[in-house]
Amino acid sequence: MNTIVIIQARMGSSRLPGKILKQLGDVDVLTYDIERCRAIQGVSEVIVATSNLPQDDAIARWCEMHQVAYFRGSEDDVLDRYVQCAKMYKPDYVMRVTSDCPFVDYEMASEIVSLMEKEQKDIVLMNGELPRGLAVELISYESLLRIHESGIESRHREHVTYYAYEFPQEFNAVTYNVPTNRIAPELRITLDTAEDYELISAVAKHFNSPLVSSSEVISYLRETPNVAILNAHIEQKPVI
């Protein structure tokens, strides 16, 4: 089974511009993304999908400097950007990761790839509430193409797999049961605001390793509530 990871990345952000190239520990946020995605077992390639806007030239230069594959496409039509990127690799499955999740759970993602290798379904659904920022999405290339044809609303074009969750009857799904030590919906381990950056910087400083287990990150935040509370008040932007 040929599975690729596509990381959507851009410099633009209404709440924290340039966030993905900010310093994180001894490196930067995008380095965390790449190293953790490359640690996912069963994937053949990790690609950064960014936009054609001049402001995202910085991401292209970063990828060239770090020998990371990248693709440039539409800024607003993220779904099309994903599809055009995937077409270059003709995979069986595409794993979606967003660059504002520097502690994406590569161990859990490896289990999801293994599950899909056995089940060969359209999409994986998660059973269990993770902290925001750890999840990945795995969908078949054929399903991605169907979404590209059918998903015409702006929310479908911006949020790559949203159509599949809105119309689940059109897809054959397999369920992944989230390990109990990952269930922590009260935690926010993502990067969208200055408060988020303060929290993930504290985590990176404590562990000083881009490959720290997500379970250890969860334990650390539970044991240090003064850190976990830094972004506890942040509300996620709604899907429109």
Work out the burial of residue 89: count CB atoms within 10 Å of its CB; fewer than 13 is exposed, 13-18 middle, 19 or more buried.
middle
In tens, the pLDDT along 178-222 reads 999 999 999 999 999 999 999 999 999 999 999 999 999 999 999
H/E segment holding residue 206: helix 194-207
pLDDT of residue 239: 56
The string of pLDDT tens digits covering residues 87-142 is: 999 999 999 999 999 999 999 999 999 999 999 999 999 999 999 999 999 999 99
Q: How confident is the model at residue 240 (pLDDT cuts 50, 70, 90)?
A: low
How do 137-140 and 23-24 pair as beta strands?
Answer: unpaired
Backbone dihedral angles phi then psi of residue 22, each to the nearest 5 degrees: -70, 150
Q: Are strands 3-8 and 69-73 parallel, antiparallel or unpaired?
A: unpaired
Asked if 199 and 93 touch (Cβ cutoff 8 Å), the reply is: no
pLDDT on residue 235: 81
pTM over 0.75, yes/no: yes
What distance in Å separates the CA atoms of residue 156 and residue 148, rounded to the nearest whole number?
A: 9
Answer yes or no: are the C-beta atoms of 79 and 122 closer than 8 Å: no
Q: How confident is the model at residue 236 (pLDDT cuts 50, 70, 90)?
A: confident
Residue 85 has pLDDT above 60, yes or no: yes
According to the model, what pLDDT value does residue 123 have? 97
Each residue of 1-44: pLDDT tens digit? 999 999 999 998 777 889 999 999 999 999 999 999 999 999 99
C-alpha angle 63-85-20 in degrees, rounded to nearest 5: 40
Residue 9 CA to residue 74 CA, distance in Å, equals 12
| pLDDT exceeds 70 at position 165 | yes
- Model pLDDT, residue 238: 63
223 confidence band (pLDDT: 50, 70, 90)? very high
| CA–CA gap between residue 132 and residue 101 (Å, rounded) | 8
Helices within 19-105 (DSSP H only): 29-38, 57-65, 78-87
- Residue 21 is predicted with a pLDDT of 96
* Residue 12 confidence (pLDDT): 82
Angle at 45 between CA 140 and CA 173, to 5 degrees: 20
Residue 21 exposed, middle or buried by CB count within 10 Å (0-12, 13-18, 19+): middle
Instruction: State the pLDDT at residue 17.
Output: 86
